[in-house]
Amino acid sequence: MSGRPEQLGVAGLRRALAAREFSSVELTQHLLARITAHHGLGAFLHVDGDRALAAAARADQRRAGGGDAVLLGVPIAHKDVFVTADAPTTAGSRMLERYASPFDATVVARLGDGPGGAGAITLGKLNCDEFAMGSANENSAYGPVRNPWDASRVPGGSSGGSAAAVAARLVPAATGTDTGGSIRQPAAFTGTTGIKPTYGVCSRYGIIAFASSLDQAGVLARSAEDCALLLSAMSGHDPRDATSAERPPQDYVRDLGLPVPGAAAGRPLQGLRIGLPREFFPATLAGDVEGRVRAAVTELVALGAQAVDVSLPRTELSIPVYYIIAPAEASSNLSRYDGVRYGHRSVHADDLLEMYRRTRAEGFGAEVKRRIMIGTYVLSHGYYDAYYLQAQKLRRMIADDFQRCFKDCDLIAGPVAPSVAWKIGEQGDDPVKAYLADIFTLPGSLAGLPGMSVPAGLGDHGMPVGLQLIGNYFDEARLLQVAHALQQATDWHQAAPAGV
Ligand code: GLN
């Protein structure tokens, strides 16, 4: 096959496949070879080449017969917290090492090549932090993922496999989940574009639960346009998820090019007010990150937007609040891994209690155990009022702070993370260091708001920096539109790591 189809994003591949520049089988073969060549990144936990090629052949047949499903024959991959009937699902944990799901997650089915699906081909499952707990992909039971920009650095987490695979051009797009930043932060660390929609936009049915009131599916890709293509297919009400929002299906691609009402030509963001929370630019923010974020804001202003000062006074409190609520929910959700219903069961036990104890001791890694213990503690009698209830009250106040901001601005901009990607192992065994680095993603998560990370150029050590955009509820169309306008005017999102 001539050319380098891995350089094309989802939109480009759609056009090339429709124009018969290459077949889905050829494309799939090409990407499978790249996955093998970049095996050292640790991005994939499972690849099923034969199944993918058979699916690609079916896609080519459908196209020959006039089929034109939106993602027909486009290869993608899923974070290994989405259950899949055709491939194992581990959630990055030993606990689920041999787990086989009898069904596909709703998001997987909607993107895939089954009846009613958008027609994408699944190449495999992507590495992630165990049960999506982490910010560096160093907590996977199956080894770390490496950042394609610098193999000695982390790709971010917990959707680190998704981010690395997209950045290394192994797939044009991948699914991820974001509970406290796990799409936005790895997107920022790898120079990819990631969107976490409003809580409730994507079904959680078939997503292995971490913290149910925060977990949300989304996309990592190489442009806002590609994110819009996938998000349109995967979002929408699902009666099998009681927290899924009852809204008509959205077409984020159609909305992409719409100018802000009344905008002048060449200034597509005319009239758009972008709030810069002063708490998102603390003295501790790395200078290179601040410089790139401000440069991106300057670009948005050149496109017609207006920057306004706003305040999110409880930004710092979002760390303790999140690290009470998320472990509390995790301790409850993970109680199902008892050696009876799912996954691993210890063979070293003589009675039931011992079986539970050993199963969980053997199956869970250190970070997961830490969260289960914290969660159990903050929910226990006597501490519930002091910790969990207080955290819930603060969560409401954090959400209210955003609504006050949105009186003065249409969307919020700032950094995604306080620094560029750090070195693998650099944080030692101090989990609090990683928790503190979540400061800019947690507030939006606690409020349930949509957020994006958009590439904003390179910082120190030639590592990517992300601009975070946060919208009001269900304003993902506007987020994508603003990110798209920025990507029409700049080429930061096209920068690729050396050697890929
Ligand atoms: N880094 C955060 C945590 O460790 C967020 C993880 C996520 O969004 N899944 O919990």
Report the range of poorest mean pLDDT among 177-186, 253-262, 361-370, 435-444.
Answer: 253-262
pLDDT at residue 500, as a whole number:
87
Distance CA 174, CA 180 (A): 18
pLDDT at residue 264, as a whole number:
74
Determine the residue of 438, 440, 468 to mutate for testing ligand 1's pocket, defined as the one with the most ligand atoms within 8 A of the Cβ atom. 438
% of the chain exceeding 70 in pLDDT: 99
Ligand 1 center to residue 179 CA distance, Å? 6
Residue 381, number of CB atoms within 10 A of its CB:
6
Distance CA 170, CA 220 (A): 13
The residue type of 339 is G
pLDDT at residue 428, as a whole number:
82
The model's pLDDT over 449-491, given as tens digits with 9 standing for 90+, comes to 999 999 999 999 999 999 999 999 999 999 999 999 999 999 9
pLDDT at residue 258, as a whole number:
67
Nearest atom in ligand 1 to the alpha carbon of residue 437 is 1
Atom 5 of ligand 1, nearest CA residue: 180
- Residue 260 pLDDT > 90: no
The residue-averaged pLDDT of 402-416 equals 98
Domain spanning 5-255: which superfamily? Amidase signature (AS) domain (3.90.1300.10)
Determine the residue of 158, 212, 432, 449 to mutate for testing ligand 1's pocket, defined as the one with the most ligand atoms within 8 A of the Cβ atom. 158
Per-residue pLDDT band for 255 (boundaries 50, 70, 90) equals: confident
Of 276, 300, 257, 264, residue with least CA distance to 481 = 257
Determine the residue of 80, 133, 368 to mutate for testing ligand 1's pocket, defined as the one with the most ligand atoms within 8 A of the Cβ atom. 133
The residue-averaged pLDDT of 236-252 equals 95
Tell me the domain boundaries of the chain: 5-255
Nearest atom in ligand 1 to the alpha carbon of residue 183 is 8
pLDDT at residue 266, as a whole number:
80
Nearest atom in ligand 1 to the alpha carbon of residue 371 is 10
- Residue 135 pLDDT > 90: yes
Ligand 1 center to residue 214 CA distance, Å? 10
Residue 269, number of CB atoms within 10 A of its CB:
24
pLDDT at residue 1, as a whole number:
67
Contact (CB, 8 A) for 157 and 187? no
Ligand 1 center to residue 139 CA distance, Å? 11
- Residue 424 pLDDT > 80: yes
Of 79, 223, 97, residue with least CA distance to 160 = 79
Residue 384, number of CB atoms within 10 A of its CB:
14
Atom 4 of ligand 1, nearest CA residue: 134
pLDDT at residue 2, as a whole number:
62
Ligand 1 center to residue 128 CA distance, Å? 11
Contact (CB, 8 A) for 83 and 100? no
The model's pLDDT over 144-166, given as tens digits with 9 standing for 90+, comes to 999 999 999 999 999 999 999 99
Of 285, 290, 145, 292, residue with least CA distance to 220 = 145
147 beta partners: 150
The model's pLDDT over 391-401, given as tens digits with 9 standing for 90+, comes to 999 999 999 99
> Which residues are within 8 A (CB) of 470 and not within 5 positions of it... i.e. 6 or more apart?
402, 411, 412, 413, 414, 444, 449, 450, 451, 452, 479
pLDDT at residue 429, as a whole number:
80
The model's pLDDT over 289-347, given as tens digits with 9 standing for 90+, comes to 999 999 999 999 999 999 999 999 999 999 999 999 999 999 999 999 999 998 999 99
Atom 10 of ligand 1, nearest CA residue: 133
Per-residue pLDDT band for 115 (boundaries 50, 70, 90) equals: very high
| Global pTM value | 0.97
Per-residue pLDDT band for 248 (boundaries 50, 70, 90) equals: confident
Characterize 325-363 residue by residue with b for buried, 16 or more Cβ atoms within 10 angstroms of its Cβ, and e for exposed: bbbbbbbbbbeebbbeeebbbbeeeeeeeebbebbbeeb
Nearest atom in ligand 1 to the alpha carbon of residue 182 is 8
Task: Output the ligand 1 site: residues, CB below 6 A.
Answer: 132-135, 158, 178-182, 210, 326, 438
Active-site positions read 79, 158, 182
pLDDT at residue 259, as a whole number:
59
Ligand 1 center to residue 133 CA distance, Å? 5
* Long-range contacts of residues 359-365, Cβ cutoff 8 Å, at least 24 apart: 360/95, 362/94, 363/93, 363/94, 363/95, 363/337, 363/339, 364/93, 364/94, 364/95, 364/130, 364/334, 364/337, 365/93, 365/94, 365/130, 365/139, 365/141
C-alpha count within 13 angstroms, C-beta hemisphere, residue 404: 13
Nearest atom in ligand 1 to the alpha carbon of residue 210 is 9
Distance CA 94, CA 358 (A): 13
Please give the distance of CA 224 from its chain centroid, rounded to a whole number: 14
Per-residue pLDDT band for 208 (boundaries 50, 70, 90) equals: very high
Ligand 1 center to residue 323 CA distance, Å? 9
The residue-averaged pLDDT of 249-262 equals 82
